[in-house]
Amino acid sequence: MEHPGKLTFLFLVSLLQTHSLVTGTTPEALSVSPTSVQLTGSRQSVQLIVTGRGVNGDILDLTHEATFIAAEPSLLKITPTGMLTPLLDGTTSIQVKHGQLSDSINVEISGQGSQESVSFNHQVLPVLAKAGCSSGQCHGAPHGKAGFQLSLFAFAPKADRVSLVRQSLGRRVNPITPSESLLLLKPTMKISHQGGKRLETDGRLYQLLHDWMSEGCSVASHDTTCLGIRVFPPEDRVLKFPHIKQQFRVIAEFSDGTSRDVSHLAKYETSDPNVASVTPDGLVTGLGRGDTAVIIRYLSHIQTPLLTFVRDIPGFAWEPPPILNYIDENVDRKLRQLQYRPSELCSDETFVRRAYLDVIGLLPTPAEVDHFLESDAASKRSELVDSLLQRPEYARFWAQKWGDLLRVSRKLIGGNSVMKYNRWLQNAVAKDMPYDQFVKALLTASGSTLTHPQGNYYRTAGDTNDAMETTSQLFLGSRIQCAKCHNHPFERWTQDNYYGLASFFHRLQRRKTGREEEVLLYSTSNGEVTHPQSGLVMQPWVPTDGSIDVTEHTDRRAAFVNWLVTPENPFFAKVEVNRIWSQLLGRGIVEPFDDFRDSNPPANAPLLEALANDFTTHQFDRKTIIRRIMNSRIYQTAAKTNRFNEDDYKYFSHYTPRRLSAEQLVDALGQVTGQPKTFERVAHGTKATWLPAPDLKPHRRDKIGDIEFLKVFGQPERQSACSCERKVDTSLGQALELLNGQFLHDMLIHPENRFRQSRNAGTSFEDIILDLYRRALCRKPTDQELQRAVNYVNNSENQEGGMEDVTWAILNKEEFLFQH
């Protein structure tokens, strides 16, 4: 948490900064959208948007600063925020003024003689969604709330009408005195409502519900359907402080060819609340630097325009840093735009530790450290990366990362299959199997899982839905699970899409052969997925091409894979480069790294694009991407921040330290103390970072509940394909293990551990400590550190005990526990 004093100080500073910049850009031209307005019904309205353009092309939203003057003021009402509602039939014009600039639009109004009836589907349900009633935490929850159930964001209008009009003995509505209905008494808190106040009695939303009831709670028998929404401004915008407001307009288009302004019915959110907030009326206000998507929803339709907020930071000047490859160019462009100054390059000592941990999962030996530090070749960093990528440990360590994602565990597939599957993964990584072929091999695996261990993919994902969900999460970066039961709440996925995708996997048969752990995989030529509500047979469907035809006798999985691995597929390459990026830098360009959706925009879209292109043009060679990233300046920046980037956490202006993973930590402790941990049921000398599964050792009932170091530090159980299972946050249990745990204690007191062996061989404490620093931290101690450590040992009553303490202290240093 921030120190309160510091907060106040920063607040003052930011106020001062705002003041000094308050003048901002002066607009040179002004335009109003829409350019003309036709209103044909009494319930229609239009949100006007006034846009100014500065000399240098800057765009600023003036909707809330402009004045609106109607030539015939009696015909209509217009708010200072640009919301226009009709009163009487007629034609008029509106003059829009801002300073010296002005523009005008024509308005035609008709149909005011009679009251337009309220549409249940297009007005009442959106009101309930906008007020939050049909959200997942309220009545949209699977069983509703307090006995009242609505479908999540109105995806089942018929059921919603029944709940509103028929259930609870019809008490929820009251056509005679609508204001006495539960539907209006509850959300206005006239009677107690656990969901709090959701509606104002004098608001338009209230009025719509009220009028719908007074009109008899009708549902038009042949209601048109909404085909989609358009938003204005349609393009992504960059807004510069102090011009940090942007009003949005939303137009819905209907199946009868009409369209109408639904700005007052749409629901607005921002993807990054640190960057901007948005009012229920669609006015976005910037709060900080950065990008945010504005998520605009009307019924099941979503648009997600992107806004970037920039501001001038006093004293900031862009000093071009060295460019090592295209990654740096892309990141720098963003940093320069947002005015973050990148950190310096990290030292060789830091780099060697970072590179070893990332590529092979282990710390370098002292000889390896010296070799690297002593070299003065200009290209020594990229040479180190190249040589590390050739090591067998690379394949073992990166196969383990795949094991996490593919849920390789004894519980799910059995001990022998774990070994076979892991060996297959290690081989694939070691032989640089191109990523598209790798995925193809997994997804189209057929035959015995004993001879084709990759077929275990369909044993961990043991049924149609699981196979589809796992596949879309791993290779499309999409968490489609939500769409199983209802349309996805913040993506374009619908329930139809879910079952359309599932049909690719439905004909796969898994037959147990009777041999232990063996399953025979084969495809049949019949079997269809039906929609759980409509009962219709779902055609195979893919996100970019829609429904696709698959001939009777092809394996549908092959058809899916052919679509999946085409270079044009917008998801496939991006998901993998983003995953590699996050494995190397601790945070994805899209974060979480397997959650791609329009409402979760990448921190740097051009960078992601460029990496994906690089990947596809290099035949999906993963090492190319690893090399590219590690050879970039961005990967090699120091963790040390400067005053211009200390608050950046997502644009990669500095390295972000992260705790060693459970396996890395166990290996590192073993390497430093010379007491490597051994594991059951694997070859002697197997490192933690090579373990094929977390649950290989036999389950002993008398050991249930014992503390295990690896688990405490977050080794995943591999029960879900979600990356979130690997626990990276810190817990009290971890700190206690390091401070007073048996695991580390045993290494320190072992009679044959490294420092005792060196001592027995006659090495001085000073040399032992020098060696310790090199092993644990890949650097020499400073004179001060060395002096203090040596003194501590010498002043201890029991010098071996003193040496234990020194080793302990180094292993408890953040510099050791974190990769930095």
Residues 646-665 that bind another protein (CB under 8 A): 646-647, 649, 656-659
In this structure, are residues 139 and 156 in contact, taking their beta carbons and an 8 Å threshold?
no
Identify the bridge partners of residue 583 per DSSP, sorted by sequence position.
none
Minimum CB separation of residue 266 from another protein in Å reads 13
Minimum CB separation of residue 701 from another protein in Å reads 4
741-760: which residues touch another protein (CB under 8 A)?
742, 745, 749
284-313: which residues touch another protein (CB under 8 A)?
285-289
16 binds another protein (CB under 8 A): no
Nearer to another protein, 19 or 166 (CB): 19
Nearer to another protein, 231 or 810 (CB): 810
Tell me the window of 104-112, 321-329, 424-432, 723-731 that interacts with another protein (CB under 8 A): 723-731
Minimum CB separation of residue 497 from another protein in Å reads 17
Q: How far apart are CA 81 and CA 231, in angstroms?
A: 17
Strands (E), 598-708: 658-659
- Of 566, 619, 678, 730, the one binding another protein (CB under 8 A) is 730
In this structure, are residues 328 and 632 in contact, taking their beta carbons and an 8 Å threshold?
yes
**781 CB-side CA count, 13 A:** 21
Nearer to another protein, 494 or 656 (CB): 656
Nearer to another protein, 261 or 737 (CB): 737
Q: How far apart are CA 239 and CA 312, in angstroms?
A: 12
586 binds another protein (CB under 8 A): yes
Minimum CB separation of residue 812 from another protein in Å reads 6
Minimum CB separation of residue 152 from another protein in Å reads 6
Minimum CB separation of residue 815 from another protein in Å reads 6
* Count of residues near another protein by CB under 8 A: 108
Minimum CB separation of residue 657 from another protein in Å reads 5
In this structure, are residues 768 and 758 in contact, taking their beta carbons and an 8 Å threshold?
yes
321 binds another protein (CB under 8 A): no
Minimum CB separation of residue 647 from another protein in Å reads 6
Question: For the chain, how long is the longest CA-to-CA vector?
Answer: 104
- Of 177, 513, 566, 719, the one binding another protein (CB under 8 A) is 719
Minimum CB separation of residue 588 from another protein in Å reads 9
Minimum CB separation of residue 278 from another protein in Å reads 10
- Of 21, 70, 313, 639, the one binding another protein (CB under 8 A) is 639
Nearer to another protein, 531 or 727 (CB): 727
3-state secondary structure of 522: strand
Minimum CB separation of residue 7 from another protein in Å reads 5
Q: Which long-range contacts (CB under 8 A, 24 or more apart) does 547-554 make?
A: 547/500, 552/525, 553/525
803 CB contacts (<8 Å, ≥6 apart)? 755, 759, 765, 768, 793
Nearer to another protein, 254 or 743 (CB): 743
- Round the CA-based radius of gyration of the chain to a whole number and report it: 31
Neighbour-count burial for 17-56, b at 16+ CB within 10 Å, e otherwise:
beeeeeeebebeebebbeeebebebbbbbbbbbbbbbbee
588 CB contacts (<8 Å, ≥6 apart)? 578, 579, 581, 582
- Of 92, 151, 503, 641, the one binding another protein (CB under 8 A) is 641
Minimum CB separation of residue 410 from another protein in Å reads 10
Of 260, 224, 266, 223, the closest CA to residue 248 belongs to: 266
3-state secondary structure of 640: coil
160-199: which residues touch another protein (CB under 8 A)?
196
In this structure, are residues 629 and 635 in contact, taking their beta carbons and an 8 Å threshold?
yes
Which amino acid, one-letter code, is at 13? V
Nearer to another protein, 111 or 144 (CB): 144
131-160: which residues touch another protein (CB under 8 A)?
132, 135-138, 140-143, 152-153
Nearer to another protein, 411 or 452 (CB): 411
- Of 411, 531, 618, 750, the one binding another protein (CB under 8 A) is 411
Nearer to another protein, 213 or 806 (CB): 806
- Helices in 503-571 by DSSP H: which ranges? 556-564
- Of 28, 736, 760, 764, the one binding another protein (CB under 8 A) is 736
**559 CB-side CA count, 13 A:** 22
Nearer to another protein, 361 or 489 (CB): 489
549 binds another protein (CB under 8 A): no
122 binds another protein (CB under 8 A): no
In this structure, are residues 41 and 116 in contact, taking their beta carbons and an 8 Å threshold?
yes
- Helices in 505-591 by DSSP H: which ranges? 556-564, 572-585
- Of 53, 587, 681, 750, the one binding another protein (CB under 8 A) is 587
350-409: which residues touch another protein (CB under 8 A)?
none
Q: How far apart are CA 219 and CA 159, in angstroms?
A: 12
- Of 7, 69, 377, 536, the one binding another protein (CB under 8 A) is 7
Nearer to another protein, 185 or 639 (CB): 639
- Helices in 29-120 by DSSP H: which ranges? none
Q: How far apart are CA 371 and CA 366, in angstroms?
A: 8
Minimum CB separation of residue 492 from another protein in Å reads 14
Q: Annotate 611-629 with three-state secondary structure.
A: HHHHHHHCCCCHHHHHHHH
Q: How far apart are CA 559 and CA 549, in angstroms?
A: 9
Minimum CB separation of residue 112 from another protein in Å reads 36
- The CA distances from residue 617 to 9, 259, 531, 572, 583, in Å, are 50, 43, 39, 13, 22
Nearer to another protein, 620 or 713 (CB): 713
Q: Which two tokens stand for residue 792?
A: 């501590």
72 binds another protein (CB under 8 A): no
In this structure, are residues 391 and 368 in contact, taking their beta carbons and an 8 Å threshold?
no
740 binds another protein (CB under 8 A): yes
Tell me the window of 428-436, 528-536, 633-641, 677-685 that interacts with another protein (CB under 8 A): 633-641
Q: How far apart are CA 319 and CA 341, in angstroms?
A: 8
Binding track, positions 239-268, relative to another protein; x by CB under 8 A: -----x------------------------
- Of 166, 171, 515, 813, the one binding another protein (CB under 8 A) is 813
Nearer to another protein, 178 or 286 (CB): 286
790-809: which residues touch another protein (CB under 8 A)?
792, 801, 805-806, 808-809
593-612: which residues touch another protein (CB under 8 A)?
595, 599-600
Which amino acid, one-letter code, is at 729? D
